[in-house]
Structure 1
Amino acid sequence: MLKRGLSFLLPLVGLHFFIDRFHPIYNVPELDEDDYYGNGSVRADEDIISDFKISFDKDTIEDLKRRVKDGLKRQFTPLENNFELGVNLNYLQNISEPFLNFDWRQHQYFLNTFDHYITEIEGIGIHFLRMNYPVKPGQKKFPILLIHGFPNSFWDFYKIIPVLANPSRFGYDFGGKNTIVFDVIVPSIPGFGFSEKPSKSGVGFVECARIFGKLMSRLGHDRYFIHGSSIVGSQVGSALAAIQPQAIMGLHMSDPYIDVTSSWLFMAKYYWSRSWASFVHYEYSSGLNLHESYYDRPDTLSVAINDSPLGLTAFLMDRWARGTSQNFKTHAQGELQTHYTVDELLTEVYIYWLTGTFPTAARFLYYSRNHPLGSQFSRATIGIPTGIINFPQTPHQMPYSILKLKYHNITRFVEASNGGEFAAIESWKKLSEEIFSFVELVTL
């Protein structure tokens, strides 16, 4: 009986260790160096960098609030006091009061305390924030590109931007003999926030990576770090690291996602790992459960959401709740206000509504998912130093065993004890600490 058991077990163990250690290299596909997504015929970019200020007039804000009031008259009766079937309508009605009392002028003033700029790349005006202090004695400065996710914007990083640019002010002191500081650049993805909306089809994570690489070059940075947040941010950051590995000193990501269907090996490893996890009795988080099928035809959904600020709020709140807690369905507020302030949530809603960018953000997801080179970029091997932090409440957890198939030089991997997908706001101290620790590890 023992011999029969061993004869069954030993090949399984051998197969597990073979699959675990087999790491082929997937080459980066060839990509055009340039394209044009602006209005009209192809022309050269105006490569000047201009100051930018956020400004919306009183009539625009009053129209938004009128639409909210009208929308409240048409709401239906909720079944349960939770998020089981979607956003809790009682919560949506409760949050409508702070929505209507929201002082956009005050928040606009705060947003404009950051230095905003805009420059044209591939026919699109690319908006970005930059915080860059003069170097002091004993400081070692590195440029860092922060890439936001969906459904978010540059606003995600409002807490960590000053920490990265001026760490001593916030009690951070990393870097041994030289304190590490950053020249922080935070662009808005094309069609998100205050970046212009592409006039032509096809802008997804690959094109965004190329555009952001040109942005960093225009700012005079030929070597820099990247941090990418969640699915979209890590996709763009990884594509940029694949396209320009010589320019990237290190790639840091929170909650990255790999499309395992992009490679037979990734698929085999994924399903084998799940089987092995069951065999040895440890928990394994699914990386295939994205719940994003409603973006298959983005313009249809966008007609409704772009017409109703309450519809936009409901969608965003429901999506944020799902990325914040695995127990969001049973909570009256989706646990949102346990982790964020109402002002943080509503500022994001206002940015999406006032810029009218939900449709173009949804299109970006569509073109990313259906990109002709998408699978090749998803599996393309990244050999530069890579740092990863996974937060336990994120719905698309990818384990180390899968991540190392793509990222062959993971120099720092951390499983956080708490937090969810939107770590830059919820867990900003931990995320800041990890970025500093990763850069310190790579550079010292």
Structure 2
Amino acid sequence: MAHATSSVASITPFRANILPNAVADLHQRLNRTRLAEKETVNDWSQGAPLSNIHALVDYWSKGYDMQRLAKRLNQYSQFHTAIDGLGIHFIHVKSTHADAMPLILSHGWPGSVVEFLDVIGPLTAPTAHGGSADDAFHVVIPSLPGFGYSEKPKGKGWGLPRIARAWGMLMKRLGYDWYAAQGGDWGAGVATWMAKEHVPGLAGVHLNLPILFPPPLQGDLNDEEKGSLAQLIAYSVDKAGYAKLHSTRPQTFGYALADSPVGQASWIYEKFGEWSDSNHRPEKVLSMDRMLDNIMMYWMTDTGASSARLYSESFLTDFSPQKLDLPVAVSVFPGELFRAPRIWGDRMYSNIICWGEASRGGHFAAFEQPEIFTEEVRKGLRPLRG
């Protein structure tokens, strides 16, 4: 099993700090908010409804604890380190169980390390959360380049393959010579490329958004494949406008996200409503406080534009199916953007060790359903433990 005798020379402790003047500025901006008029439909087809955004902004201004994000993050050991010339922020929590499996978890957009805060305890201390000591993990949770407290790339080149290699270097620097990687959204892309490139020490991956698309249409698709293909088409036709903007004009709309907290909040909140397993009622699965924690991560670090640039780097090139021969575990959540069928996985992954179907949860699996997500990760990666 792996051990964690860290080489700490190039790793420095980090604490989140939300300064009073930043809070005062945020309050001033929220108080000067000019909202758009009400939508002309009675659904989400034109975007997040005015009533929802009004409620979110009102709570942010009057009810939310502006120091809550820092308080939550600072409950855990956080660090900064330079990898391949870029400063990377990460959370690192070791289990007390000696044979714990090291696991690196990667978030996506519009997520952050905040998505994983509620699964740190269950993953690292399973016996205190209904699990067995045999299911323990040491967890490493980095912020993607240009996201959160990681540094913003100054030039092009930080796509998925480079991030994958950087995560491999991070795990090596922490002393882990055997570990697994987990991810959904962009995090699934990172984990996929880690497996594709066989980064040293990687034993296998767990994906809650496997990057799998239908093969060239040769013959008939079965009913499950037809359903998944219909979901992909619906996403491409009606829900992928944000990705086109991110891929082609991150700088232009980035000015709006940098200047307006409500612009940043609504850009993220819409995705919580559209992509969660909540029937456009994200408050049912993600409280206002938890959603605003994630929104604050973007606002306080001014990473609207820098996070979007990952799309221009990798969305149309690297975020694609890859043939993998390392062990792959998959968990399909019912509220996901599209639910990839096992047959697509069999075509691309030669060593599927687990294929799970979760009972609840959507695109933000760990954020929405931390207990179910934890059990899926435990179950999916057990075969690696030997």
Q: Could you tell me the TM-score, scaled by structure 2's length?
A: 0.90
Among 301, 311, 334, the alignment partner of 1:355 is: 301
Q: How far apart are the structure 2 equivalents of 1:246 and 1:119?
A: 19
Residues 203 and 364, structure 1, Cα contact 8 Å, conserved in 2: yes
Moved over 6 A (4+): none
Structure 2 residue aligned with 1:404: 346
The 3 A distance-change label for structure 1 pair 79 and 249 is same
Q: Does 1:244 align with 2:198?
A: yes
Among 5, 14, 19, the alignment partner of 1:57 is: 19
Q: Does 1:190 align with 2:145?
A: yes
Structure 2 residue aligned with 1:255: 209
Summarize deviations over 1:383-435 as a string: whole Å, max 9, x none: 11110001111113222221222211111001223221101011111111111
Among 130, 147, 160, the alignment partner of 2:92 is: 130
Q: How does 1:91-110 map to 2 (within 5 A)?
A: 91-101=52-62, 102-110=64-72
Residue 315 of structure 1 aligns to a residue whose secondary structure is helix
Q: How far apart are the structure 2 equivalents of 1:281 and 1:255?
A: 16
Q: How far apart are the structure 2 equivalents of 1:172 and 1:180?
A: 7
Residue 408 of structure 1 aligns to a residue whose secondary structure is coil
Stretch deviating more after TM superposition (236-245 or 285-294): 285-294
Structure 1 residue aligned with 2:30: 68
Among 157, 171, 174, the alignment partner of 2:116 is: 157
Residues 382 and 406, structure 1, Cα contact 8 Å, conserved in 2: yes
Q: Residue 193 of structure 1: CA displacement?
A: 0.7
Structure 2 residue aligned with 1:225: 180
Q: How far apart are the structure 1 equivalents of 2:225 and 2:344?
A: 18
The 3 A distance-change label for structure 1 pair 118 and 246 is closer
Q: Does 1:201 align with 2:139?
A: no
AA in 2 matched with 1:335: R
The 3 A distance-change label for structure 1 pair 379 and 281 is closer
Q: Residue 281 of structure 1: CA displacement?
A: 10
Summarize deviations over 1:46-98 as a string: whole Å, max 9, x none: 96100001002111111112112212x34323324432210111111112221
Structure 1 residue aligned with 2:260: 308
Q: Residue 272 of structure 1: CA displacement?
A: 4.3
Q: Residue 316 of structure 1: CA displacement?
A: 0.5
Q: Does 1:323 align with 2:275?
A: yes
Structure 1 residue aligned with 2:369: 427
Q: Does 1:267 align with 2:215?
A: yes
The 3 A distance-change label for structure 1 pair 227 and 281 is closer
Residues 182 and 206, structure 2, Cα contact 8 Å, conserved in 1: yes
- Percent identity, please: 26
Stretch deviating more after TM superposition (344-353 or 61-70): 61-70
Q: How far apart are the structure 2 equivalents of 1:97 and 1:297?
A: 30
Could you list the runs of 5+ residues in structure 1 that have no partner in the other structure?
1-45, 261-265, 329-333
Summarize deviations over 1:234-269 as a string: whole Å, max 9, x none: 1100101121255211210102223x4xxxxx531x
Residues 165 and 199, structure 2, Cα contact 8 Å, conserved in 1: no
AA in 2 matched with 1:155: V
Residues 131 and 162, structure 1, Cα contact 8 Å, conserved in 2: no
Summarize deviations over 1:10-59 as a string: whole Å, max 9, x none: xxxxxxxxxxxxxxxxxxxxxxxxxxxxxxxxxxxx96100001002111
Q: Residue 441 of structure 1: CA displacement?
A: 2.1
Structure 2 residue aligned with 1:210: 165
Q: Does 1:167 align with 2:119?
A: no
The 3 A distance-change label for structure 1 pair 64 and 400 is same
Residues 257 and 287, structure 1, Cα contact 8 Å, conserved in 2: no
Residues 324 and 394, structure 1, Cα contact 8 Å, conserved in 2: yes
Q: Does 1:388 align with 2:330?
A: yes
Q: How far apart are the structure 1 equivalents of 2:115 and 2:60?
A: 19
Structure 1 residue aligned with 2:73: 111
Residue 221 of structure 2 aligns to a residue whose secondary structure is helix
AA in 2 matched with 1:117: F
Residues 78 and 90, structure 1, Cα contact 8 Å, conserved in 2: no
Q: Could you tell me the TM-score, scaled by structure 1's length?
A: 0.79
AA in 2 matched with 1:244: H
Q: How does 1:23-38 map to 2 (within 5 A)?
A: none
Structure 1 residue aligned with 2:288: 342
Q: Does 1:293 align with 2:239?
A: no
The 3 A distance-change label for structure 1 pair 254 and 158 is same
Residues 77 and 89, structure 1, Cα contact 8 Å, conserved in 2: yes
Summarize deviations over 1:284-312 as a string: whole Å, max 9, x none: 44345351222222212212122111111
- Matched positions, count: 370
AA in 1 matched with 2:201: A
